[in-house]
Amino acid sequence: MADEEHQKLSTFVKRVHQMLRYEAHRVGADKAWKEHCNKSDILQEYAISMHKLASVFWEKNATDRNKSVQCRIKWVIEKCVLYFFEGEKEIRRTKEKDKIQKFGNATEKCTRAFAKYARVTASKETLTEAEFLTLLDVGSCYNPFRACPFLYVIPIDIAPAEPDVYMCDFLNLAVVKPEQPIILDGRTIRELPSAVCDIVVFSLLLEYFPCPKQRYLCVCKAYDLLKPEGLLFIITPDSKHSSANAPIMKNWRITLAQLGFSRVYYEKLPHIHCMAYRKDINPELSKQWSSFQLHKKNDTQISADLHIPQDFQEIHDKCDDIADTKVERTNQEDEALVQMFLQLPYD
């Protein structure tokens, strides 16, 4: 039997997600979100629960790849090293350039954009590579990337669990003109300049939002905040077999391609999907790929949504009291629940 406290924390986190989905269904996503952000006691308890789940319970399983979701942080760092320091970035740049040349006149505009980008960055490149990489960790909670030596981390959260995490609602963050200074108003961030980040991380973030449009807004914002050739990491929970939610993952890929992202790394680990998307120098190629995929599916229009399996589940017309984490269950039901929440509180 799994630890009782582990189960209680997982249940609390899951109930916050359920409550938000229920409220969004009842009063609309925008209103529900606004009200949710004012529930400081629940946000605070969520922050404490999440921090404890990740740093105590998941940490215990950190060395076992089959059990651990803790490896999500390691996965992101490993892929950053491969991409930024071990040549993958240059390989991708060459591939993009080759494809553009292959497509010929139709993409003449792309070729010009590419050449201009190469000229502008050539002088800065060596300097940039030697400096820290700027990583925006959205929904950071407890700043798990803090210890990484080559990262300058900007951790943000609506409910920081650690004092070095900035208070910020990403949905309402203003993206301002590039080359503006980053304004840190005390421990709160209200705006960031565009094209300022090498890396944006959404680790277990997107499923928090009750509505597919809010998730889409997040990826659009990440696109604006990233430098060309920067990476967006998305870690999303799924304890099922890799093929079970493959159509949803494919739709994400098509939607992100429509924005100008191409997928660089993907891995299904036992409890999570791990993905890294590159902001292409020119968005036309990935847009073309996306249109081709839609054509194959006989779809004409890309949806400005990012769905998760929970969107297709029935919304219960009554949401249990969030504070009441004690539910009457049989031993068998208890065991099933524990197995389900052993690693992640979402599925």
Ligand X SMILES: C[S@@+](CC[C@H](N)C(=O)[O-])C[C@H]1O[C@@H](n2cnc3c(N)ncnc32)[C@H](O)[C@@H]1O
Report, in Å, the least distance between residue 207 CB and ligand X: 7
**22 - beta bridge partners?**
none
Half-sphere exposure of 276 (CA within 13 A, CB side): 24
CA distance 82 to 64: 22
- With CB under 6 A as the contact rule, which of the stretches 201-209, 299-307, 315-323, 328-336 interacts with ligand X? 201-209
Under the criterion CB under 6 A, does residue 233 sit at the interface with ligand X? no
Assign residue 90 a region (left: φ > 0; alpha: ψ between -120 and 50; beta: otherwise).
Answer: alpha
Q: Residues in the chain, how many?
A: 347
- With CB under 6 A as the contact rule, which of the stretches 77-85, 132-140, 271-279, 303-311 interacts with ligand X? 132-140
Query: Closest CB to ligand X belongs to which residue?
Result: 139
Report, in Å, the least distance between residue 21 CB and ligand X: 13
The site string for ligand X over 167-186 (x = CB under 6 A, - otherwise) reads -xxxx---------------
Under the criterion CB under 6 A, does residue 205 sit at the interface with ligand X? yes
Q: Is the CB of 42 or the CB of 264 nearer to ligand X?
A: 42
- With CB under 6 A as the contact rule, which of the stretches 136-144, 226-234, 247-255, 286-294 interacts with ligand X? 136-144
Burial of 144 (0-12, 13-18, 19+ CB in 10 A): buried
Under the criterion CB under 6 A, does residue 206 sit at the interface with ligand X? no
Other CB atoms within a 10 A radius of the CB of residue 106 amount to 10
3-state secondary structure of 79: helix
Under the criterion CB under 6 A, does residue 48 sit at the interface with ligand X? no
Is 137 annotated as a binding-site member? no
Under the criterion CB under 6 A, does residue 70 sit at the interface with ligand X? no
What string of DSSP letters covers 263-284? EEEEEEETTEEEEEEEE-SSTH
**266 - beta bridge partners?**
275
Total residues at interface with ligand X (CB under 6 A): 19
- With CB under 6 A as the contact rule, which of the stretches 111-119, 134-142, 189-197, 298-306 interacts with ligand X? 134-142
CA distance 162 to 319: 30
CA distance 145 to 300: 40
Q: Is the CB of 274 or the CB of 281 nearer to ligand X?
A: 274
Helix boundaries (H) for the chain: 4-27, 29-37, 40-52, 58-60, 71-80, 88-103, 108-122, 125-130, 212-225, 246-259, 284-296, 331-341
Is 164 annotated as a binding-site member? no
- Nearest Cα neighbor of 235 from 267, 197, 263, 278 is 267
Q: Is the CB of 88 or the CB of 157 nearer to ligand X?
A: 157
Q: Is the CB of 54 or the CB of 281 nearer to ligand X?
A: 54
Under the criterion CB under 6 A, does residue 306 sit at the interface with ligand X? no
Q: Which of 22, 57, 166, 208 binds ligand X (CB under 6 A)?
A: 208
Confirm if 1 and 335 have CB atoms less than 8 A apart: yes
Report, in Å, the least distance between residue 150 CB and ligand X: 19
- With CB under 6 A as the contact rule, which of the stretches 117-125, 198-206, 244-252, 275-283 interacts with ligand X? 198-206
Under the criterion CB under 6 A, does residue 159 sit at the interface with ligand X? yes
Output the known binding site for S-adenosyl-L-methionine: 139, 157
List residues near ligand X by CB under 6 A: 47, 50, 54, 138-141, 156-159, 168-171, 203-205, 208
